[in-house]
Amino acid sequence: MFNWFQNFLAIRGYAPHGYCLLWQPELIWTHVVSDAVIAAAYFSIPFVLLRLVRLRQDIEFGWMLGLFATFILACGTTHLLSIATMWIPAYGWEALVKAVTAVASIATALLLVPLLPKLVAIPSPSALRQANEALVREAREREKTAEMLRQAQKMEAIGQLTGGIAHDFNNLLGIVIGNLDRSRRKGSGTPEGRLALDNAIEGAERAARLTDQLLAFARKQPLRPEPTGINDIVTGMAALLRQTAGPLVQTEIDLQPGIPAVIVDRNLMENAILNLTINARDAMAQGGVLTIKTSYLAPTDEVKLCVSDTGAGMAPDVLQRATEPFFTTKAVGHGSGLGLSQVVGTIEQHGGRVEIESRPGEGTTIHMFLPASQAGGTAT
């Protein structure tokens, strides 16, 4: 066997390849230079693949790159032997290298076919960018959700504390107001004493209204809901709202007729609308337009009440905190910061929701959505 192999590799009197080309220099050197360039290119590829595998050891198909490098080296060697056989008839060695190349090429092809689905599944750079952008968006959404959860927990804690304090304080105010009113009815010896009693009762009543706002924010205020036309509430308050808005503000009321009734506590709803009117008036110190509008949203079976103004509006950072209790942009002594939080508490206590739309210099619109009454009543 060894003798046969040695005989296979021996020259055995064959003529060199240059003899077939009649030793013409232009043909010989064209073949030599071309094969040399091709061999150099083939030999450079495995070094690049080897460096790639070393730099990226996480590549799943590193072994496939090694097999491909072997195939490339064998191809480059065949071109070197093509140069040698121009002058040396080493056809046995050339045949051996070609056989090795054939085996390597077949193995590479056979192993590459099953890998094709996995190679196709490798994401492209654009797909990776899209995946990265999706991860960034998801991270932002999670951060936003976490912030909303922290805000909700804070609001719940404040609501529980506020509700407990306001409830007890309201009971004490009831005793104070009752005794002050009793003293006033019995009369006081001097006008100054009667004036002092009147001022004390007025202050106690203002404190009682404040505790009502606190209870509405905490959603612990007892409700007396009944089917009520939202148009009836606004119509009944029209004169009061215009008086509250003041002479510099043009009050427009746009009521859609025939909309369904809502089940609400009328007093709480009137207080919420009045609070929004006061906020709108304060936002339009130089005058403007206050619009109160009602409508019915058939797809969601909701009654919508909008209170909008053409005032200063709110910046995004202010809008984000607008419904927080005790947050206000007004000067000290000119606002408790409970107006919007009371409105939100009242609407949500009735199963509704509130959306606020505001832009600096363009005014503010408060959208209040309340579920329509299933009793079938309609507003006038």
Percent of the chain with pLDDT over 70: 69
Report the pLDDT value the prediction gives residue 288, as an integer from 0 to 100.
92
Within 13 Å and on the Cβ side, how many CA atoms surround 183? 18
CA gap 250, 319 in Å, rounded: 24
The tokens for 342 are 């009371």
Mean residue pLDDT of the chain comes to 78
334 — pLDDT class (breaks 50, 70, 90): very low
CB 222 within 8 A of CB 262: no
> Of the ranges 90-104, 180-194, 203-217, 333-347, which is most confident?
90-104
**In this predicted structure, what is the pLDDT of residue 332?**
45
Q: What is the pLDDT of residue 151?
A: 62
Mean pLDDT of 271-282: 87
Work out the pLDDT band at 152, boundaries 50, 70, 90.
Answer: low
What confidence tens digit (pLDDT) does each residue in 39-96 have?
898 888 888 877 877 777 766 666 777 777 888 888 888 888 888 888 888 877 788 8
d(CA 46, CA 70) in angstroms, rounded, equals: 8
Report residue 22's pLDDT band, with 50, 70 and 90 as the boundaries. Answer: confident
Task: Give 253 or 285, the one with higher predicted confidence.
Answer: 253
User: Counting Cβ atoms within 10 Å, is residue 280 exposed (0-12), middle (13-18) or buried (19+)?
Assistant: buried
Where do the structural domains in the chain lie, given as residue ranges?
A: 2-122, 147-218, 226-371
Under the banding of pLDDT at 50, 70 and 90, the label for residue 368 is: very high
What length does the chain have? 380
Helices (H), the chain: 2-9, 17-20, 25-55, 62-84, 91-121, 125-186, 191-218, 230-245, 266-283, 316-321, 339-349
Q: Residue range 121-126: average pLDDT?
A: 74
Q: Classify domain 147-218 by CATH architecture.
A: Orthogonal Bundle (1.10)
| pLDDT tops 60 at residue 337 | no
Instruction: List the CATH code of the domain at 226-371.
Output: 3.30.565.10
Calculate mean pLDDT across residues 12-23: 76
The structure tokens listed for 5 are 């192999």
Q: Which amino acid is located at 340 in the chain?
A: L
- For residue 1, pLDDT over 50 is answered with yes
pLDDT at 352: 92
Tell me what pLDDT residue 252 has.
94
- At 336, the pLDDT band (50, 70, 90 cuts) reads very low
User: Taken in order 43, 48, 54, 60, is the CA torsion positive or negative?
Assistant: negative
Lowest mean pLDDT among 50-59, 122-131, 370-379: 370-379
Position 364 scores a pLDDT of 92
Q: What value, to the nearest 5°, has the Cα angle with vertex 330 and ends 329 and 335?
A: 115
Share of the chain above pLDDT 90, in %: 17
Does residue 256 register a pLDDT over 50? yes
- When mean pLDDT is compared across 24-33, 53-62, 200-209, 213-222, the lowest value belongs to 213-222
What mean pLDDT do residues 177-191 have? Answer: 66
**Phi and psi angles of residue 239, each rounded to the nearest 5 degrees, phi first:** -65, -45
pTM of model > 0.85: no
Element (H, E) at 50: helix 25-55
Contacts of 324 (CB under 8 A, 6+ apart): 155, 337, 341
